């Protein structure tokens, strides 16, 4: 059994319309599914990705309208990364983000790659990561109707950055339970703090890395809008997912057991630092219930929620997602 890399990340927004506009019109991602949080059907769950929402390209958001601002700290997924094809693409994005008034930094080296830091309108932390010399897990294929030219477009998820008070228990789970390899380290940007540890799985590369930063100077994060709820890793199929469930049970690690999300099958658990991990299958995929040419245009509900469609629609504010 081997995890194939990052599958998706899920974060929190308080404003679905603004979120939709930013991720589709500014970042150029495709909304591949407009559905609801299956654990709280009164709120939207929006999935953005490449042309078909391929595993490894998905950034998703739960809309919680009354969510307070995220308070940054430990026990958190403290930054996400998005892959772009080249160093030249970073120059394009620096100009584009500036044109749209997006809070961003300067292009800089980070963990052996050229990167560009930015925040979305709710303060969500991101790095654009150049795949100029990347070898490893392949990226996705940008949607041909994206407002961003294909040669500069986002191709998927890059490394997920975790911040914890003590790195070793998290490292133990990544290495001994999940099968990640310790690839190397790079300096923390905070003086006096330990180096950031880089872990990789499968073919490696930017689409298969987790970066763990130990910080002894921070309180625990208070999750809110602009924060990340969980990170998911790719499992090949449902049969393999069931083997992972048995592996976690054998390790006496509390977990959700098998969860059917319809578009993929999942397993959830918290690592020792308190961060929520998910293992998710590559399929069935987002074109299971919608034509590929019309993904994300209407409210999609899995079959087990379809009988409640009228009640669910009454609780949701209309959201025009035609692109």
Give me the domains of the chain, ranges plus CATH numbers: 6-288 (3.10.180.10)
- For residue 266 the two structure tokens come to 């999942």
pLDDT, one tens digit per residue, over 121-145 is 999 999 999 999 888 999 999 999 9
Q: Does residue 166 carry a pLDDT above 80?
A: yes
Backbone angles phi, psi at 272, to 5 degrees: -60, -25
Report the distance separating Cα 261 and Cα 285, nearest Å.
Answer: 10
Which residue is it, tokens 């299971």?
A: 288
- Across 199-205, average pLDDT: 97
Handedness of CA 163, 208, 200, 84 (dihedral sign): negative
What is the radius of gyration, based on Cα positions, of the chain? 19
pLDDT, one tens digit per residue, over 44-100 is 999 999 999 999 999 999 999 999 999 999 999 999 999 999 999 999 999 999 999
Q: Does residue 323 carry a pLDDT above 80?
A: no
Q: Which residues contact 47 (CB under 8 A, 6 or more apart)?
A: 8, 31, 32, 33, 34, 35, 53, 58, 59, 60, 286, 296
Whole-number Cα distances in Å, 130 to 24, 95, 123: 20, 15, 22
Rounded percentage of the chain residues whose pLDDT exceeds 90: 96
- Closest C-alpha among 47, 51, 55, 49 to residue 10: 47
Q: Which residues contact 248 (CB under 8 A, 6 or more apart)?
A: 177, 255, 267, 269
């Amino acid at each position: 059994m081997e995890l194939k890399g990052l599958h998706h990340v899920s974060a929190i927004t308080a404003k679905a319309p603004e979120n939709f506009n930013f991720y589709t019109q500014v970042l150029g991602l495709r909304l591949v599914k407009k559905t609801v949080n299956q654990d709280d059907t009164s709120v939207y769950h929006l999935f953005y990705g490449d042309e078909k929402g391929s595993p490894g390209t998905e950034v998703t958001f739960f809309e919680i309208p009354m969510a307070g601002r995220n308070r940054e700290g430990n026990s958190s997924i403290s930054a996400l990364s998005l892959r772009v094809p080249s160093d030249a693409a970073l120059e394009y994005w620096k100009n584009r983000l500036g044109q749209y008034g997006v809070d961003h930094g300067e292009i800089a080296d980070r963990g052996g790659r050229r990167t560009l830091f930015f925040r979305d309108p709710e303060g969500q932390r991101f790095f654009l990561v150049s795949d100029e010399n990347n070898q490893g897990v392949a990226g996705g294929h940008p949607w041909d109707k994206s407002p961003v030219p294909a040669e500069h477009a986002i191709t998927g998820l890059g490394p997920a950055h975790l911040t914890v008070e003590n790195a070793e228990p998290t490292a133990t789970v990544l290495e001994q339970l999940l099968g990640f390899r310790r690839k190397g380290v790079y300096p923390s940007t905070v003086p006096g703090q330990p180096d950031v540890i880089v872990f990789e799985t499968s073919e490696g590369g930017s689409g298969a890395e987790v970066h763990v930063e130990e910080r002894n100077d921070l309180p625990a994060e208070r999750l809110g809008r602009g924060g990340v709820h969980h990170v998911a890793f790719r499992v090949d199929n449902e049969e393999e997912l069931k083997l992972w469930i048995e592996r976690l049970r054998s390790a006496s690690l509390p977990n959700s057991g098998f969860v059917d999300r319809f578009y993929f099958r999942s397993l959830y658990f918290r690592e020792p630092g308190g961060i929520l991990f998910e293992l998710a299958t590559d399929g069935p995929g987002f074109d299971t219930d919608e034509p590929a040419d019309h993904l994300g245009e209407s409210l999609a509900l899995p079959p087990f929620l379809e009988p409640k469609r009228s009640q669910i629609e009454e609780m949701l504010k209309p959201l025009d997602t035609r692109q």
